[in-house]
Amino acid sequence: MMGKKRNVPKLRFPGFSAAFNTKRLEEICDKIGDGLHGTPKYDENGDYPFINGNNLSQGILQITDTTKRVGDNEYKKHKKHLGERSLLLSINGTIGNLAYYRGEQILLGKSAAYISFSEDFSLPFGFYLLQTSSIRNFFSSELTGSTIKNLSLKTIRETKAEIPSLPEQQKIATFLTAVDRRIELLEQKKEKLEAYKKGVMQQIFSRQIRFKQDDGSEFPDWEEKKLGEVGDIVVGGTPSTTQKEYWGGNIGWIGSGELKDDYVSFPTKHITHSGLKNSSTIMMPKGTVLLAMTGATLGKTGLLTFECCGNQSVAGILPSKRFDSYFMFQVLQNEKNQIFSFAGGAAQIGINKKNIEGLTINLPSPQEQEKIAVFLSKIDLVQRQLTMKITQTQIWKKGLLQQMFV
């Protein structure tokens, strides 16, 4: 007869072998509650930020210039007794965002819950416990509401968790805190590099920084051009969605939502040769510079690393001997304000092909374009490497959460 499965994780620190104990969250907490169910009287000059779930992110309470505030009377009337052992959890709309409470004088709204852990429990362990897939999945299964999802305090209190001894809690929390610190440092490094690139681009396109020819001589002056004068611009289309034979082929087809001011390395949808032939979509070669024309992604750019088609919300500036594609990709990122100035429309703002052709750009000689492109591409390479490291570390952390908890 097989023995009963022990309540232990796959991955443990040396010296620990006892099974975890099953507890409800209310058994390891002194208090679980939420914020004000109602709208306070706001005071733009008030000293107390009004906090909801969208103010919680990656363990930090985010208070910005747009955060609403209240005055003394509202704060004293509705404040919650939070302490140094409290975590804040988003429970309405966006579910599961977490932040440590670090003594800030705040007023909580109803979309933020507070979970105050007992003295004999590791607060950092609780922070990671609430990130585990088992608890997140249980939260998801118990959500109420159709349009806006809500996590009830009753569900939080009754959530079952597997708890090791306090020394093992502390070991696990210390290790995962170090992993989070590594992610944080990588993200800070990436942010600094992005700020550096932004500053350098401003100086390059304002000609405060100029490159020189290999023999040390000056390049010719930049020339002001309309984009339509130097580039051939095409706009995509969509094969009929009622014709199944138009979809699922081997021709890449992308929409504006896939443009993120980066290289476009693979499409998420594909069409057939029949779909290409029987629609207004156009095949665009590798090296085409893409520009999103409508909606929330308006102004986003991409540089194709493969041949593909696009939908009607995507314009393509086809490769040309008149400009370096990578340089043009950077130019469009630098001309966001001009792009937005053309935008019109009531329900959904957008630009058209004529607007794009009318964009005013400044072009250096092809040789200087190439030097600029090489310089900026090196920065982009480091950015992509940092992004990859961040993603890999986040995946590693996710695996640790699965293996170090039950």
Of 369, 280, 379, give the one whose Cα is nearest residue 321: 369
For 148-168, the pLDDT digits (tens) are 999 999 999 999 999 999 999
The pLDDT-based confidence of 6 (bands split at 50, 70, 90) is low
Strand partners, 273: none
pLDDT value at position 344?
84
For 272-289, the pLDDT digits (tens) are 999 999 999 999 999 999
Let me know if 172 is exposed, middle or buried by CB neighbors in 10 A (0-12, 13-18, 19+): buried
**Token representation of residue 320:** 């040309």
Q: Distance between CA atoms of 400 and 196, rounded to whole angstroms?
A: 34
Which is the CATH superfamily of the domain at 164-219+364-406? Bipartite methylase S protein (1.10.287.1120)
Q: Given a cut of 90, is residue 4 above it in pLDDT? A: no
- Amino acid code (one letter) for 159: T
Domain(s) labelled CATH 3.90.220.20 in the chain stretch across: 22-163, 223-362
Of 361, 328, 403, give the one whose Cα is nearest residue 172: 403
286: left (phi over 0), alpha (psi -120 to 50) or beta: beta
What percentage of the chain exceeds 70 in pLDDT?
A: 98
Of 242, 254, 271, 340, give the one whose Cα is nearest residue 299: 340
Widest Cα–Cα separation across the chain: 86
For 22-74, the pLDDT digits (tens) are 999 999 999 999 999 999 999 999 999 999 999 999 999 999 999 999 999 99
Report the pLDDT averaged over residues 194-210: 94
Q: Distance between CA atoms of 162 and 94, rounded to whole angstroms?
A: 25
Q: Distance between CA atoms of 364 and 350, rounded to whole angstroms?
A: 29
Topology (CATH) of 223-362: Adenine-n6-DNA-methyltransferase TaqI; Chain A, domain 2 (3.90.220)
Topology (CATH) of 22-163: Adenine-n6-DNA-methyltransferase TaqI; Chain A, domain 2 (3.90.220)
| Number of residues that make up the chain | 406
Let me know if 102 is exposed, middle or buried by CB neighbors in 10 A (0-12, 13-18, 19+): exposed
Residues 255, 298 contacting (CB under 8 angstroms): no
Residues 270, 249 contacting (CB under 8 angstroms): yes
pLDDT value at position 48?
96
Domain(s) labelled CATH 1.10.287.1120 in the chain stretch across: 164-219+364-406
Pairing mode, if any, of strands 269-271 and 233-235?
Answer: unpaired
> Where would I find the H helices in 210-272?
227-230
**Token representation of residue 32:** 């679980």
